[in-house]
């Protein structure tokens, strides 16, 4: 039910945006895009209310917004830029060709940060607050995380047809592998935060800001390799935690 609602709202909004040739930055297109972005959160609210009535929603938000130890909040913010900087260090160390390591984002920094706040508040309570615990309970933390990573990636599919979005004109498979790797790291952070979704929000926003402001290599090995390594390490730590 959760995935059906989230996909239906988001895909309907994005399809309308694409069919009407709206810009997702202004006018009706902006509101359609916003509707699509908050759909996972809305789907989690609707499904939680259907399962447990109104009493289920306070419990849902208490867990989603549970206070996070400072070190895990900082780790969630710092992991993406550390990955990017380590990759850049390898590129520079081996003298490989590269573009400018930092660049101005397509929008002002304040607009970028505000936009990412909406993105993570719209998505993460649904993906990591509602879906992840249920997938882990049914399939285990590793398989459940990978399933969510695939579902998260597929949710973005209409954006590959909308000009101006980060996904437009790029390959879906590398994108899906990236989100699966991100998902593994996020699951570890959420587990260490006792189910709080705050680290997922911080990581997601930090990773997106890095993608907008730091060099992204064309070579998939360079782009995906560090994240795959991070995902393997996170998966190892998740398995150790699950077995302890």
**143: phi then psi, degrees, rounded to nearest 5:** -65, -40
pLDDT at 219: 66
* pLDDT over 70, % of the chain: 95
Could you tell me where the DSSP H helices lie in the chain?
2-19, 27-52, 56-64, 70-93, 109-124, 132-139, 141-155, 172-192, 198-213, 220-243
pLDDT at 31: 94
pLDDT at 10: 97
pLDDT at 91 over 80: no
Give CA–CA dist 187/192, Å, rounded: 9
57, 101, 227 from 118: Cα distances, Å:
20, 27, 24
Quick one: which of 239, 228, 225 has its CA closest to 187? 239
C-beta contacts of 47-52 below 8 A and 24+ residues apart: 47/1, 47/2, 47/5, 47/130, 48/130, 50/1
- pTM reported for the whole predicted model: 0.92
Quick one: which of 234, 8, 26, 217 has its CA closest to 142? 234
Q: How confident is the model at residue 104 (pLDDT cuts 50, 70, 90)?
A: confident
Classified as helix, coil or strand, 51 is: helix
Average pLDDT over residues 137-142: 96
């Amino acid at each position: 039910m959760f995935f059906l609602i989230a996909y239906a709202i988001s895909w309907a909004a994005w399809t309308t945006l694409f069919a009407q040739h709206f810009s997702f930055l202004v006018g009706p297109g902006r509101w359609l895009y916003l509707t699509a972005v908050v759909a996972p959160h809305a789907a989690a609210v609707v499904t939680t209310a259907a399962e447990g009535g109104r009493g289920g929603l306070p419990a849902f938000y208490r867990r989603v917004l549970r206070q996070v130890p400072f070190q895990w909040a900082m780790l969630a913010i710092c992991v993406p830029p550390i990955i990017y900087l380590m990759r850049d260090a390898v590129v520079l160390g081996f003298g490989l060709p590269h573009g400018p390591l930092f660049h101005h984002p397509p929008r002002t920094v304040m607009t970028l940060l505000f936009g990412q706040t909406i993105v993570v508040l719209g998505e993460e309570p649904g993906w990591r607050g509602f879906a992840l615990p249920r997938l882990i309970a049914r399939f285990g933390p590793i398989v459940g995380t990978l399933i969510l990573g695939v579902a998260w990636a597929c949710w973005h599919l209409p954006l590959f047809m909308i000009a101006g979005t980060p996904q437009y004109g790029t390959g879906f498979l590398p994108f899906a592998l990236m989100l699966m790797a991100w998902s593994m790291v996020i699951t570890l952070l959420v587990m260490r935060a006792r189910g709080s979704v705050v680290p997922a929000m911080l990581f997601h926003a930090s990773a997106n800001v890095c993608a907008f402001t730091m060099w992204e290599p064309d070579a998939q090995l360079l782009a995906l390799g560090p994240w795959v390594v991070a995902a393997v390490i996170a998966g190892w730590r998740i398995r150790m935690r699950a077995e302890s």
